Amino acid sequence: KAGVTQTPRYLIKTRGQQVTLSCSPISGHRSVSWYQQTPGQGLQFLFEYFSETQRNKGNFPGRFSGRQFSNSRSEMNVSTLELGDSALYLCASSRDGDSYEQYFGPGTRLTVT
């Protein structure tokens, strides 16, 4: 069974640009969560999608958005990039919203210059 995949793995963008990251969950999993990891703030919850609906959202500005498609694949978008958005973005999938086992992908490392 294939694990969670995230594309791209590495990305370099310039301040002010926007970026879209993609996450494909494990087959059969319907819940996808996104996390941001930085050296200063650690791991922080961005949002969670379940059956194409955003169920929960962390404390991030509106520049951070996401969506989930009918095949459970999810994308997150960051608009008007700032230097502080440089981070490892991790996606996690679980079978359903109540499943305690969240399986993480390898992450996308975003560098904003």
Q: Which residues bind other proteins (CB under 8 A)?
A: 33, 35, 42-48, 55-56, 58, 88, 90, 92, 97-98, 100-107, 109
CB of 63 to other proteins, least distance (A): 18
- Using alpha carbons, select from 39, 62, 37, 66 the residue that is nearest to residue 52: 66
**Residue 12 or residue 43: which is nearer to other proteins going by CB?**
43
**Residue 1 or residue 14: which is nearer to other proteins going by CB?**
1
- What is the C-alpha to C-alpha distance for residues 94 and 71, in angstroms, rounded to an integer? 14
Q: Please check whether residue 81 is in contact with residue 15, taking contact to mean a CB–CB distance below 8 angstroms.
A: yes
- Say if strands 10-13 and 108-112 run parallel, antiparallel, or are unpaired: parallel
CB of 17 to other proteins, least distance (A): 23
